[in-house]
């Protein structure tokens, strides 16, 4: 027999468990359907009832079976009492079964009269005792007891009940009854209709918005669990937090800025790319503007340096070939030296003004996110001069991935920096992945050339979703596939900024930028344009952003699409870590568009 559900739960009574096993082990009637623990919401004599077993036998009828696992009983004044539990009193099991059966029949006939033209009957089962009691309240053939179940298979016993019920009806003048009780009913089609009506299958998939909210809440919870790292380092003035993608470095950086401000420090929070800077500004604005508190200034390193030297000087040197890596840093360092002398004169007069010091570019505490991009020779002097006491004696914390995300080829060495410029800063590893599921993380590490054991554990539960790798033969085919992917993500509920398209190519040479499909061309927007410091990046548009993988560090999105994976170097040699950076941005879905020639490396 086919059991629905296929197994009983732990709350099932021992008697029901016995009968359940007998029914399930009867292989002679695979066409029968047995509904176990069927709720009766509209019971005829009580608010709600339950049927122990409702058995639908094609060609015979429908049996409602009430099971009592008693080893004995007594009955006084119409009340049935289990001697092992005398406080539990109930009505006749035959009446229970009959009332439940009629309740179901009435419901079925109201909803679909064609399904109610089968014979419905009830019976009681006593698997642990021999029941010999006779009464005008039930027929003897409505009893299944221990002796009967030991003599015959339970399927034969049930079939006998249904046939006896038909024989009984045939012997009575019940034309009204048989007019709606057709021979051969229920058919297998009616059986399926009854099952669908009484115990339908439902599938209510989690809505994308709810899923994304849940993932976001979990991510926040898991990342806040990492705050213990800040707590452990609270007595150290200089700390380097070193961890791979997804270990919560950006959230920790924001929390560190908040904590430093709360104890009266003017804080400078620096990063490299503009998109991350805009995100950091949004996260810190709530506590950066609290009245009476020192400031929290959030800028990219280039914005900070250009702010120091002023628009006139920027305009004068902006066309220099090495503007970003030499001319601008040199001008900023010169200005910081001058500002330091000015601040010393101001404070020598007995006036200590944090706001004035911040305007001069000198802060009490420095926080650096994605620090592996800033610990470069061209930036070190600026970092050294922007905090009181400098890097060796000042107060600062840096957060970065110094092994796997140095995609700007900075060759940043934590140990070298600590010994030469970092004043013996404490080095704290972060190893718990808060962002990615293990399936995504494993793929990103394997393809991106990263050791999987860089993570001690993944805090998010794996939902079974695997990275979706799709292959193309040429640029046109890739554009068509990108449109399909964006359509599919939109249909699945991922819209606008919830999707991030990242390319191994530069911003101006990527698949998304070259997309000519009108429907999506107008819905895509370049996230970062160049390395300039002009203005914030707008992260609040309803468009889907795209950019190079290099510029996505520190960011994340519900769905990430990697495009232009077409160079063997990206999956084999020097640029391998770029794939890791891009893939690890996703919170939920990861789709990869790769040239078919790279299939052996990506499977």
A 10 A CB-CB count for 178 gives 15
Contact 148, 130 (CB under 8 A): no
Q: Which of 273-277, 474-478, 490-494, 573-577 has the highest mean pLDDT?
A: 474-478
| pLDDT at position 157 | 92
| pLDDT at position 186 | 85
CATH number, domain 233-430, options 3.40.50.300, 3.40.50.1000, 3.40.50.720, 3.40.640.10? 3.40.50.300
Q: Is the model's pLDDT at 472 over the cut of 90? A: yes
Q: What pTM value is reported for the model?
A: 0.65
Asked whether the domain spanning 439-602 has the same topology as the one spanning 233-430, the reply is yes
| pLDDT at position 510 | 92
What are the distances in angstroms from CA 50 to CA 12, 103, 136, 392? 12, 11, 25, 75
Buried b / exposed e over 360-374, threshold 16 CB at 10 Å, is: bbbbbbbbbbbbbbb
Q: Is the model's pLDDT at 290 over the cut of 50? A: no
The predicted-structure confidence for 487-510, as pLDDT tens digits, reads as follows 999 988 888 888 999 999 988 889
Q: How many CA atoms lie within 13 A of 45 on its CB side?
A: 10
| pLDDT at position 12 | 85
| pLDDT at position 328 | 94
The predicted-structure confidence for 98-121, as pLDDT tens digits, reads as follows 888 888 888 888 888 777 778 889
Pairing of strands 457-458, 499-503: unpaired
Pairing of strands 557-565, 267-271: unpaired
SS (H, E, C) 564-591: EECCHHHHHCCCHHHHHHHHCCEEEEEE
* Strand (E) or helix (H) holding 87: strand 85-90
Instruction: Give the confidence band of 47 by pLDDT, cuts at 50, 70, 90.
Output: very low
- Of the listed ranges 219-228, 477-486, 564-573, the one predicted with least confidence: 219-228
| pLDDT at position 529 | 47
More confident residue, 578 or 268: 268
What are the distances in angstroms from CA 164 to CA 61, 63, 140, 157, 409? 11, 12, 10, 11, 86
Instruction: Give the confidence band of 315 by pLDDT, cuts at 50, 70, 90.
Output: very high
Percent of the chain beyond pLDDT 90? 28
Q: Is the model's pLDDT at 174 over the cut of 60? A: no
When pLDDT is averaged across residues 348-354 and rounded to a whole number, the result is 72
| pLDDT at position 181 | 58
| pLDDT at position 179 | 47
A 10 A CB-CB count for 186 gives 26
Q: Is the model's pLDDT at 86 over the cut of 70? A: no
| pLDDT at position 594 | 93
Q: Is the model's pLDDT at 175 over the cut of 90? A: no
When pLDDT is averaged across residues 576-601 and rounded to a whole number, the result is 89
Sheet holding 544-548, edge to edge: 468-472, 586-595, 557-565, 499-503, 544-548, 524-526
SS (H, E, C) 398-425: EEECCCCCCCCCCCCCHHHHHHHCCCCC
State the CATH architecture for 439-602: 3-Layer(aba) Sandwich (3.40)
SS (H, E, C) 95-143: HHHHHHHHHHHHHHHHHCHHHHCCCEEEEEEECCCCCCCCCCCCCHHHE
| pLDDT at position 412 | 52
What are the residue boundaries of the structural domains of the chain, listed by start?
A: 2-198, 233-430, 439-602
Contact 81, 134 (CB under 8 A): no
| pLDDT at position 434 | 86
């Amino acid at each position: 027999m086919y059991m629905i559900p296929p197994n009983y739960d732990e709350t099932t009574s021992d008697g029901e468990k016995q009968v359940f096993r007998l029914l399930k082990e009867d292989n002679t009637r695979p066409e029968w359907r047995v509904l176990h623990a069927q709720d009766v919401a509209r019971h005829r004599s009580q608010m709600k009832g339950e049927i122990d077993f409702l058995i639908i036998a094609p060609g015979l009828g429908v049996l409602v079976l009430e099971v009592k696992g008693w080893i004995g009983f007594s009955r006084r004044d119409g009340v049935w009492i289990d001697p092992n539990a005398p406080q539990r009193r109930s009505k006749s099991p035959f009446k229970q079964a009959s009332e439940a059966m009629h309740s179901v029949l009435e419901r079925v006939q109201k909803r679909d009269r064609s399904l109610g033209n089968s014979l419905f009957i009830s019976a009681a089962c006593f698997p642990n005792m021999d029941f010999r009691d006779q009464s005008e309240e039930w027929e003897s053939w409505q009893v299944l007891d221990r002796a009967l179940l030991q003599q015959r298979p339970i399927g034969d016993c049930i079939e006998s009940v249904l046939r006896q019920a038909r024989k009984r009806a045939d012997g009575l003048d019940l034309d009204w009854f048989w007019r709606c009780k057709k021979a051969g009913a229920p058919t297998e089609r009616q059986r399926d209709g009854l099952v669908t009506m009484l115990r339908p299958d439902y599938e209510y998939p989690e809505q994308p918005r709810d899923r994304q909210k849940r993932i976001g809440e979990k991510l926040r919870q898991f990342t806040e669990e990492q705050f213990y790292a800040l707590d452990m380092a609270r007595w150290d003035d200089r700390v380097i937090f070193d961890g791979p993608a997804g270990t919560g470095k950006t959230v920790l950086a924001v929390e560190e800025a908040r904590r430093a401000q709360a104890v009266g420090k003017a804080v400078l929070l620096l990063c490299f790319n503009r998109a991350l800077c805009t995100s950091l500004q949004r996260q810190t604005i709530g506590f950066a503007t609290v009245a009476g508190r020192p400031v929290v200034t959030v800028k990219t390193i280039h914005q900070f340096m250009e702010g120091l030297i002023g628009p006139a000087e920027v305009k004068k040197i902006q066309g220099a070939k090495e503007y970003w890596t030499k001319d601008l840093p040199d001008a900023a360092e010169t200005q910081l030296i001058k500002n330091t002398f000015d601040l010393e004169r101001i404070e020598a007069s007995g006036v200590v003004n944090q706001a004035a010091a911040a305007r001069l570019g000198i802060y009490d505490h420095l926080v650096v996110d994605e620090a592996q991009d800033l610990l470069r020779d061209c930036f070190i002097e600026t970092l050294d001069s922007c905090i009181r006491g400098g890097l060796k004696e000042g107060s600062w914390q840096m957060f970065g991935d110094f092994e796997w995300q140095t995609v700007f080829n900075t060759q940043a060495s934590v140990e070298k920096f600590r010994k030469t410029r970092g004043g013996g800063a404490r080095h704290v590893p972060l190893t718990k992945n808060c962002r990615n599921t293990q399936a995504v993380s494993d793929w990103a590490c394997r393809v991106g050339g990263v050791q999987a054991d860089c993570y001690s554990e993944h805090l998010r539960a794996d939902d079974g979703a695997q990275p979706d790798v799709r292959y193309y033969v040429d640029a046109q085919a890739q554009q068509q596939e990108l449109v399909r992917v964006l359509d599919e993500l939109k249909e699945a509920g991922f819209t606008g900024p919830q999707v991030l398209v990242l390319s191994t190519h530069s911003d101006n040479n990527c698949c998304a930028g070259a997309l000519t499909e009108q429907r999506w061309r107008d819905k895509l927007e370049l996230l970062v344009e160049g390395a300039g410091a002009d203005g914030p990046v707008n992260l609040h548009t309803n468009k889907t952003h795209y950019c190079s993988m290099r510029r996505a560090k520190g960011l994340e999105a519900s769905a990430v699409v990697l495009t232009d994976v077409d160079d063997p170097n990206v999956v084999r040699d020097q640029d391998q870590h770029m794939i890791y950076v891009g893939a690890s941005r996703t919170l939920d879905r990861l789709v990869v568009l790769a040239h078919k020639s790279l299939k052996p490396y990506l499977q």
